[in-house]
Amino acid sequence: MRSSLLKPLLLLSLLSFSSVNSAEDFIVKNIKVNGLQRITAGTVYDYLPVNVGETFSDSDVAPAIRALFKTGFFKDVTIEREGSTLLINVVERPTIAKVTFDGNKDLSKDDLTKALKKIGLTEGLVFNSQILDKVEQELTRQYFSHGKYGLKITTNVEDLPRNRVDVKITISEGQAAKIQEINIVGNTVFPASKLLGEFELSTTNLLSFYTKDDQYSKQKLSADLERLRSYYLDRGYINFSIDSTQVAITPDKKGIYITINIKEGELFVLQKVKLTGNLIVNPEDLVKLVKIGPGEIFSRKSATETSKAITDRLGDEGYAFANVNMVPDINVHHKTVDMTFFVDPGKRVYVRRVNMTGNAKTRDEVLRREMRQMESSWASTSQIDRSKTRLERLGYFDTVNVETPAVVGAADQIDVNYSVTEKAAGNLMAGVGFSQTQGIVFNANVSQDNVFGSGKRVNVGFNNSNISTEYSFGFLNPYFTNDGVSFGYDMGYRTRNAAQANISKYFTNVIYGGINFGIPLNEFDRLRFNLDLKRTKLKPSTLSSQEILNFIDQNQDSNNVFDTLSASVGWSHDTLNRLIMPNDGGQQRLTALATVPGSDLLYYKVDYNHQHYFPIAKDLTLRLRGEAAYGDGYGKTEDLPFFEHYFNGGVRSVRGFLDNTLGPRDQKGDPFGGSTKIVGNAELFFPVPFVDEVKSVRLGAFIDAGSVSANFGVGKLKYSAGLSGEWLSPFGALAVSIAQPINAVTNDPDSYKNDRTRWFQFSFGQGF
């Protein structure tokens, strides 16, 4: 060590005496720098501690050399005198032309590049060979955090022309060390199995190949220790502590043993709960938000939720910077806690400006009419968040972000800044899809959800499949009035071959047109009114069932043409957090439709649909969905017309059964549908392995139930269970399911009574 320190000092001393030709002091009249390639002479002058016109002596040599070495630009510096000119001779360090990695699998190139950039090893910077030691230390740290303890790293530096180098880093990651055992020592109240169930880390199990929960990570262990601490604090053990944590690695660096030593402490109960401070709002409103009470076991989680609920309530009143501090008074002798929530609302905050950025195509007014937070009014956290949600639900933007910076110089004002990233709101699409029911589907569609940035929607479409051919045109103005009343109309022509849809054999030609109005009742509820005129031409085939022929006899018409004018009213309650792949909130729809007197056919239909999403974990969402529908004829029409029947079964209702095949059959054994429909689905969505984009693709495990009956009633429910997948691809929506019917009839001697099942089903080219 001592020898290594003496060498640079000796070198510096020699330079001080020999690098300048004359030992006499002299006045520097010129400074000349030799050896520069990339560094400018001005940079050298900036760092050099001597200027033209100053006196230079032997004692100035060492400081000058040290100053230039400290820049990190040079690997050699000498100073000479040529008359009154000071000569600076330098050899520049090479620059890094490229950094390449070989053998990295667990960490991506981008992750490694970011890590090395922090320590100064990246393309374009000056290369210093001493930094290679830091490279190895940083990469070792990165891989150790992923449980790769058998890591080996080699570096190779290749010289290139023009004083450049390539740095190649070869990585042998080795196998990740697996957790062999996790021991908790000191627990007497709760069993170790229960405590370890709260951990993310685990010993190897059937899902470890995907979850990697058996790979040790310091960050994961820290998070698990915090979960362990929270588990006890939420159950009254206020003095719980973790004394120590030992992590042992086996000699072959393939196994990890973790030991956690804890002290549980005593159980504490709440004795008093108080609200104090400047409450601002009605105390009774705040008391309702308190989630803990005297006599209950102390829970830090409940106390924190209470604090947050009060803070949010004050935020809705404009106190955006309110603080609600939890002050526990612990009585160790009696094992009780007096909890005081001290409320400090601060100043009421007002919104100076609501600013929009990123909407290059969409008009500013389209965004502003979705705002629930107004300028010059007090700031409301719930209204700011609701405005963001409404922007997301428009469907015009990929991302919506909001920031609330304080106004400089004003303690009681903020700006609310919404930034959006627009996506293509218009589509010119022509393509081919395929459905197991419809076969090959040809479609052409021109739609614009945001015409000229106005928020209005126009759609012109053509679809052709084995089942139907349809031409359509539609228009919708969601803000026909400033109050949010919508107005739209649609028209089209559709032909249908029912036999291709697995149901009774007949043909229909339909010409339709209608208008609709939507009226908002409040933030989440809306009424919709439709008036539709429809002409249906019915064409029975030679194979049509007796039920179809009976309907024709009962409703005589010379050309089997039926004109109907129907009026419908619908109510919807929508709290979904987004339109595509929601994971929170719910939606209810109730629709009642009836043809008006004077129509060729008189009937009515009522449909109720309810779905709700429950985010039960970070990447897990439970959806519960139910639908009930009923229809019947009235007046001169005895029953619901068969071509208005409800059907069930298929990839979008009760999976595992062939589309439209559940329920009553006609005289020829073909599915005939019915007047009553019941559907129920429970589905757990989870992320797709190795896919980061979760807003347009998802997997699920489901249980379906449903029935169709000819009369009012539930009918015989059919059940199925399986796995599903949905992907909103650039080429159309893809829905896939693998389902096993639970109570299908497949062995009845009368083949017409057997259920038509299909374990694998998919549909491509249709919207969800």
What span, in angstroms and rounded, lies between the C-alpha atoms of 557 and 105?
A: 73
Q: What is the mean pLDDT of residues 566-574?
A: 96
What span, in angstroms and rounded, lies between the C-alpha atoms of 533 and 250?
A: 78
* pLDDT tens for each residue of 243-262: 999 999 888 888 899 999 99
pLDDT at 68 over 70: yes
Q: Could you say which of 3.40.50.300, 3.10.20.310, 3.40.50.1370, 3.40.50.10800 is the CATH number of the domain covering 350-422?
A: 3.10.20.310
The closest alpha carbon to 583, from 553, 634, 555, 620, belongs to: 620
Q: What is the pTM of this model?
A: 0.67
Superfamily of domain 269-344: membrane protein fhac (3.10.20.310)
Superfamily of domain 95-172: membrane protein fhac (3.10.20.310)
2-92 is a CATH 3.10.310.30 domain: no
The closest alpha carbon to 233, from 308, 313, 292, belongs to: 292
What span, in angstroms and rounded, lies between the C-alpha atoms of 426 and 459?
A: 10
Q: Could you say which of 3.40.50.1220, 3.40.1550.10, 3.10.20.310, 3.40.50.1100 is the CATH number of the domain covering 178-263?
A: 3.10.20.310
| Residue 479 Cα distances to 263, 369, 484, 734, angstroms | 63, 9, 5, 32
- Quickly list DSSP for 504-518: --EEEEEEEEEEEEE
Q: What is the mean pLDDT of residues 682-691?
A: 83
In percent, how much of the chain has pLDDT > 70?
Answer: 91
**What's the pLDDT band for 279 if we cut at 50, 70, 90?**
confident
pLDDT higher at 128 or 744: 744
pLDDT at 659 over 90: no
Contact 659, 757 (CB under 8 A): no
Mean pLDDT of the chain: 85
In percent, how much of the chain has pLDDT > 90?
Answer: 43
β-partners of residue 484 are none
What span, in angstroms and rounded, lies between the C-alpha atoms of 167 and 130?
A: 13
Q: What is the pLDDT of residue 5?
A: 37
Residues in CB range of 654: below 8 A, 6 or more apart? 648, 662, 679, 704, 705, 706, 718, 719, 720
* pLDDT tens for each residue of 448-499: 777 777 888 888 877 776 777 889 999 999 999 988 899 999 999 999 888 8
**What's the pLDDT band for 266 if we cut at 50, 70, 90?**
very high
Q: What is the pLDDT of residue 559?
A: 81
Burial class of residue 116 in the structure, from the number of CB atoms within 10 Å of its CB (0-12 exposed, 13-18 middle, 19+ buried): buried
What span, in angstroms and rounded, lies between the C-alpha atoms of 191 and 448?
A: 60
The closest alpha carbon to 28, from 83, 89, 90, belongs to: 83
* pLDDT tens for each residue of 515-566: 999 999 998 999 999 999 999 999 988 888 899 988 988 887 668 899 999 9
What span, in angstroms and rounded, lies between the C-alpha atoms of 495 and 471?
A: 9
Beta-carbon count within 10 A of 714 CB: 10
pLDDT at 430 over 50: no
**What's the pLDDT band for 570 if we cut at 50, 70, 90?**
very high
pLDDT at 398 over 70: yes
Residue type, 663: G
b/e map 550-575, b = 16+ CB within 10 Å = ebeeebeeeebebebebebebebeeb
pLDDT at 440 over 60: no
* pLDDT tens for each residue of 573-595: 999 987 778 889 999 999 999 99
The closest alpha carbon to 396, from 423, 430, 369, belongs to: 423
Beta-carbon count within 10 A of 639 CB: 18
* pLDDT tens for each residue of 701-760: 999 999 999 887 777 899 999 999 888 766 556 788 999 999 988 877 776 778 888 888
Q: What is the mean pLDDT of residues 330-334?
A: 91
Q: What is the pLDDT of residue 105?
A: 75
pLDDT at 263 over 50: yes
Q: What is the pLDDT of residue 511?
A: 97
In whole angstroms, what separates CA 511 from the centre of its chain? 42
Using only the alpha carbons of the chain, give its radius of gyration: 37
What span, in angstroms and rounded, lies between the C-alpha atoms of 610 and 220?
A: 39
Beta-carbon count within 10 A of 61 CB: 23
Tokens 């195509």 -> residue: 361
Strand 30-34 with 85-92, pairing: parallel
* pLDDT tens for each residue of 186-237: 999 999 999 999 998 999 888 777 777 888 888 889 999 999 999 999 999 9
Q: What is the pLDDT of residue 732?
A: 57
**What's the pLDDT band for 764 if we cut at 50, 70, 90?**
low
Two tokens, residue 748: 């009845």
What span, in angstroms and rounded, lies between the C-alpha atoms of 463 and 440?
A: 11
| Residue 270 Cα distances to 239, 250, 331, 339, 530, angstroms | 14, 46, 10, 7, 58
The closest alpha carbon to 725, from 692, 694, 758, belongs to: 694
Two tokens, residue 482: 């400033």
Where is average pLDDT lowest: 279-283, 285-289, 749-753? 749-753
Q: What is the pLDDT of residue 733?
A: 66
* pLDDT tens for each residue of 586-639: 999 999 999 999 999 999 999 999 999 999 877 889 999 999 999 999 999 989
The residue ranges of every structural domain in the chain are 2-92, 95-172, 178-263, 269-344, 350-422, 426-764
pLDDT at 672 over 70: yes
Residues in CB range of 102: below 8 A, 6 or more apart? 168, 169, 170, 171
Residues in CB range of 571: below 8 A, 6 or more apart? 525, 526, 527, 528, 588, 589, 590, 591
HEC profile of 372-428: CCCCCCECCHHHHHHHHHHHHHCCCEEEEEEECCECCCCCCEEEEEEEEEECCCEEE
β-partners of residue 464 are 442, 469
426-764 is a CATH 3.40.50.970 domain: no
Q: What is the pLDDT of residue 445?
A: 56
Q: What is the mean pLDDT of residues 631-653?
A: 92
Q: What is the pLDDT of residue 519?
A: 96
pLDDT at 2 over 60: no
**What's the pLDDT band for 692 if we cut at 50, 70, 90?**
low
Tell me, yes or no, if the two domains 95-172 and 426-764 fold the same way: no
pLDDT higher at 130 or 35: 35
- Quickly list DSSP for 522-582: SSSEEEEEEEEEEEEEEEE-TT--HHHHHHHHHT--TT-EEEEEEEEEEEEEE--S-SSS-
Q: What is the pLDDT of residue 601?
A: 94
Contact 280, 314 (CB under 8 A): yes
State the DSSP H helix or E strand holding residue 716, giving kind and residue range, or none if neither.
none
What span, in angstroms and rounded, lies between the C-alpha atoms of 226 and 215?
A: 18
pLDDT higher at 537 or 138: 537
Residue type, 462: F
